[in-house]
């Protein structure tokens, strides 16, 4: 049986009202210069894929707007790049992405213990 599906997009005021109604505290902001847990989880996804030598072909939601090359209108950090191959395409780290991941890996492991974020493989592209 098919049912209708409703999609809801909350504004900042709507999220604040929902938190007030449920007594939920607002999410903590990461320290300056660090990614949110949601974005760190996506970098970790690419790191795991590279470590396992499998291509990471998709990021969650609209994460690419915040992390991938070519989306400067969304203030992208340009830590990932789409790499086309003859058979398919996949995400790889840019140099800035590798530097950020390596520099903040230990800190983000402490901040986001639920994220499976392996160290980058040696010689990872």
Each residue of 15-59: pLDDT tens digit? Answer: 889 899 999 888 778 888 899 999 999 999 999 998 888 888 888
**pLDDT cut 70: percent of the chain above it:** 96
**Do you know the residue count of the chain?**
125
Instruction: Look at residue 1 in the predicted model and tell me its pLDDT.
Output: 65
Q: Are 44 and 35 in contact (CB under 8 A)?
A: no
Instruction: Look at residue 5 in the predicted model and tell me its pLDDT.
Output: 77
| Cβ atoms within 10 Å of 46's Cβ, excluding its own | 23
Instruction: Look at residue 58 in the predicted model and tell me its pLDDT.
Output: 84
Q: How do residues 63-99 score in pLDDT, each as one tens digit?
A: 888 888 877 677 778 999 988 877 778 899 999 999 9
DSSP state of 55: -
Name residues whose C-beta falls within 8 Å of residue 75's C-beta, 6 or more positions apart in sequence.
Answer: 66
Q: Where are the alpha helices (DSSP H) in the chain?
A: 12-22, 37-51, 64-67, 95-111
Domains and CATH numbers, the chain: 30-111 (1.10.10)
């Amino acid at each position: 049986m098919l049912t209708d599906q409703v999609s809801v997009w909350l504004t900042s005021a709507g999220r604040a009202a929902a938190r007030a109604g449920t007594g939920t505290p607002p999410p903590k902001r990461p320290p300056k210069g660090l990614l949110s847990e949601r974005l760190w989880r996506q970098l970790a996804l690419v790191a795991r894929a590279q470590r396992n030598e499998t291509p990471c072909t998709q990021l969650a939601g609209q994460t690419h707007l915040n992390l991938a090359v070519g989306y400067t209108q969304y203030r992208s950090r340009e830590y990932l790049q789409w790499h086309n191959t003859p058979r398919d395409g996949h995400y790889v780290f840019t140099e800035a992405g590798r530097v950020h991941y390596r520099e903040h890996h230990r800190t983000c492991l402490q901040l986001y213990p639920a994220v499976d974020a392996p160290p980058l493989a040696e010689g990872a592209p």
